[in-house]
Amino acid sequence: MPEYTDLNTVLQKIPAPDEKARAAAQKQWASCAKPLGSLGLLEDALTEMAALTGRAKIELTPRTVLVLCADNGVVAQGVSQSGSEVTGIVAHALAAGQSNVCRMAALASCRVLPVDMGILDFTPEPGVFESRIGNGTADMTRGPAMTRAQAEQAILAGIELVRMQKEAGIHLLATGEMGIGNTTTATAVACTFLGRAPQELTGRGAGLSDAGLMRKRRAIETALAVNKPDAKDPVDVLSKVGGFDIAGLCGVFLGGALYRVPVLVDGAISAVAALCAVRLCPRASAAVFATHQSAESAGELLLQALGKKPLITAGMRLGEGTGAVAAMPMLDMALAIYQGSTFADYGMQPYTPQEAQG
């Protein structure tokens, strides 16, 4: 049985970061035999992980990338190059260990867990965790993508995924997604939260033509006009113009904050979900760790809204959690130094901060 069935209860229970653990991690970094702050954002990331978990002893393994899969009714508006059937095909490949993220995750010693949040007409199969909210969402250009109750159910399902991973001994999570049409829903959510027009944020997704891009923009404009999502109410936004995958990922970030498990953001879609989580509970920001800056139009703006800086700027937009997994070896290397030689081991005096000479 899920531990929580009420979203408000979860939001109230999310703790603040542990400042003692943060200070201990900073002290550990200061003792490492290297110039102060010389690993930059990698040092910051591990320090924030210590504050989140409440332990200066940082562990990054074992780890899992959660790939939430769902279909979107807005595909009927011609917003994607592929049909909805592709979501199920890729979910099958994820379960078989054959998808793009699976190949990258194998090199990063990371488990891949595909989750069916609402794949259209999907038959359950081994290797795909079932957490279905519905058989795909409705077409958001004609009304809400889902009910408010379904949005809350999807968020709670994401929180429950984190609980199960925590109980299985997982120390680090990455967020991935698969769902034809989900750059359209993610853009609609981003436009609402960022106060930007679809013309500014809508990208080509998996490679739309000019005509396809125009259809996508019109679909987002229509969905926003028809549904009038309330930017002050993230659940309202998710229910009206989101997707089961985005709502579930929102729950994963909330669950990371609740259960003190670091969660790596992938690209624009998971960044939108992270922003939903932080708008629901600002303390959830402690569990949100940026990995790369998506090449999608909203990628940079979403990270700015989250107050996060990417470790990687490589123009990636593959999805499935690939960008988040790509950052894992960098974090491993930083941890090796964090746990490595100290100035005392070298018989040296540690570096101390120096005042700039004017």
Q: CB–CB of 47/25 below 8 Å? A: yes
Per-residue pLDDT for 206 more than 90? no
297 φψ region: left (φ > 0), alpha (ψ -120 to 50), beta (else): alpha
Whether pLDDT at 354 is above 80: no
Cα atoms found within 13 Å of the Cα of residue 79, Cβ hemisphere only: 32
pLDDT above 70 coverage of the chain, percent: 99
CB 175 within 8 A of CB 324: yes
Query: Given this model, what pLDDT does residue 351 score?
Result: 85
- pLDDT attached to residue 356: 63
> Is 204 a residue whose pLDDT tops 90?
no
The pair of structure tokens assigned to 215 is 């259809």
> Which residue, chain included where needed, has tokens 């995958």?
245
Catalytic residue among 19, 48, 320, 355: 320
Query: Cβ(117)–Cβ(244) under 8 Å?
Result: yes
Q: Is 160 a catalytic residue?
A: no
Q: Tell me the two tokens of residue 283.
A: 């303390």
Q: What is the mean pLDDT of residues 181-190?
A: 97
State the Cα–Cα distance between residues 106 and 102, nearest whole angstrom.
Answer: 6
Burial 303-330, CB ≥16 within 10 A → b, else e: bebbebebbbeeebbbbbbbbbbbbbeb
Find out whether 138 and 144 touch, Cβ atoms under 8 Å: yes
Give the pLDDT mean for 200-229: 91
pLDDT at residue 307 in the model: 98
Q: What is the pLDDT of residue 334?
A: 98
pLDDT for the residue 150: 98
Is residue 203 predicted with pLDDT exceeding 90? no
Residues 247 and 154 sit within 8 Å (Cβ to Cβ): yes
- Span 69-114, pLDDT tens digits: 999 999 999 999 899 999 999 999 999 999 999 999 999 999 999 9
Q: Express each pLDDT in 315-346 by its tens digit.
A: 999 999 999 999 999 999 999 999 999 999 99
pLDDT at 297: 83
- 85: part of which helix (H) or strand (E)? helix 85-95
Is 298 in contact with 188 (CB distance < 8 Å)? no
pLDDT of residue 260: 98
Which letter does DSSP use for residue 168 in this model?
T
The contacts of residue 75 (CB under 8 Å, 6+ apart) are 83, 84, 180, 181
> For 124-138, 204-218, 221-235, 237-251, which range has the lowest pLDDT when averaged over its residues?
204-218
For 251, the 3-state DSSP assignment is: helix
Maximum CA pair distance of the chain? Answer: 70
Structure tokens of 196? 């930007």
Full-model pTM: 0.97
Residue 348 pLDDT level (bands cut at 50, 70, 90): confident
Does residue 207 register a pLDDT over 80? no
Structural domains in the chain, CATH included, are 17-57+337-346 (1.10.1610.10), 63-333 (3.40.50.10210)
